[in-house]
Amino acid sequence: MDYRKYRAGFVEKLACAAVGAGAAGMAAWLFYRSVWGMLLFPAAYLVCVKKYCALQKEKRKEQLLMEFKDAMQSASAALLAGYSVENAWRETEKELLELHGEKGLMAAEVRWMNEGVRMNEPLERLLLEFAARSGCEEIESFAEVFAFAKRSGGDFVRIMQTTVQKLAGRIEVEREVATVLAGKRLEGRIMEIMPLAILAYLQVASGEFLDALYGSAFGVAVMSIAFCCYLAAIKWSEHILDIQI
């Protein structure tokens, strides 16, 4: 599995199409009061799929990092118990299956590495291949240090414990940042909905008040500019709250 990419399934694409159709229909009614506004559907669908895939990819990355931390803890404990590196990896597979089950991401990866080792492939090369697919800087750094230590005879236990400490620190910081930003994200969602709610209220309560903005080239131009400004404001808000650790 290439964790740097996420490919939506058929059902997921159908759900995105439904959301995109709803968004395009809302925009057609509020900003253009015309069925021609549904021409926005392809763009709305593509944006929805892109955002959904990005969200799922980020969730999968977080899950992978959490399970990788568990794998490092299990492997370091096995090494302290006197196992060789390869045997410690087999013990790690058993631990991950108990912790996360058959659907665990790291359990599948460690199983793949163990099968490669049985075929006489070097563990460090398999780990480097996994790190390249993971798209996680911490895993890539660990794999490079592990490969160097494997060739020169380094302290694997210390390397794994250091990796666990760094991952635990990053996960804790990310949780703290997410807690702090939760309120701001909610405020942002409310601010995004308010212009649409006001426009919908005016459409229902005083539709004739907005008649000048519909059915003419000037009105379409004004509403198009307003729509673009609204989308730009949403994009700006998301950019401000997108804090990378």
| Gap between the Cα atoms of 213 and 207, Å rounded | 10
Q: Which of 5-9, 114-118, 179-183 has the lowest mean pLDDT?
A: 179-183
Find out whether 37 and 22 touch, Cβ atoms under 8 Å: no
Q: Rounded to whole angstroms, what are the CA distances from 109 to 15, 32, 57, 65, 130?
A: 30, 51, 17, 13, 8
> Given this model, what pLDDT does residue 146 score?
80
Q: How confident is the model at residue 58 (pLDDT cuts 50, 70, 90)?
A: confident
* Per-residue model confidence as pLDDT tens digits over 78-96: 888 888 888 888 888 888 8
Q: How many Å apart are CA 3 and CA 60, to the nearest integer?
A: 8
pLDDT per residue as tens digits for the range 186-237? 888 888 889 889 888 888 887 777 777 787 888 888 888 988 998 898 888 8
pLDDT band of residue 245 (cuts 50, 70, 90) is low
Percent of the chain whose predicted confidence (pLDDT) is above 70: 97
pLDDT band at 48 (very low <50, low <70, confident <90, very high): very high
Q: What is the pLDDT of residue 15?
A: 93
pLDDT band at 52 (very low <50, low <70, confident <90, very high): very high
User: Is residue 45 a contact partner of residue 236, using CB atoms and an 8 Å limit?
Assistant: no
Beta carbons of 35 and 28 less than 8 angstroms apart? yes
Q: Binning pLDDT at 50, 70 and 90, where does residue 14 land?
A: very high
Say how many C-beta atoms besides its own lie within 10 A of residue 11's C-beta: 8
User: What's the whole-number mean pLDDT along residues 89-104?
Assistant: 86
pLDDT of residue 82: 81
DSSP 189-217: HHHHHHHHHHHHHHHHH-GGGGGGGSSSH
pLDDT (0 to 100) of residue 244: 65
CA proximity to 33, closest of 224, 198, 190: 224
Q: How far is it, in rounded angstroms, from Cα 59 to Cα 200? A: 34
Structure tokens at 188: 């942002």
* Residue environment code for 178-203, b if the CB has 16+ CB neighbours within 10 A, otherwise e: eeeeeeeeeebeeeeeeeeeebeeee
What does the pLDDT read at residue 238?
80
* Alpha helices, DSSP H, located in the chain: 10-27, 41-80, 85-100, 105-118, 123-134, 137-152, 156-205, 217-241
> For a pLDDT cut of 90, what percent of the chain falls above it?
11
Give the C-alpha distances (Å, rounded to integers) separating 105 from 53, 67, 98, 110, 141: 18, 7, 13, 9, 19
Average pLDDT, the chain: 84
Task: State the pLDDT at residue 204.
Answer: 83
CA 88/CA 11 separation, integer angstroms: 40
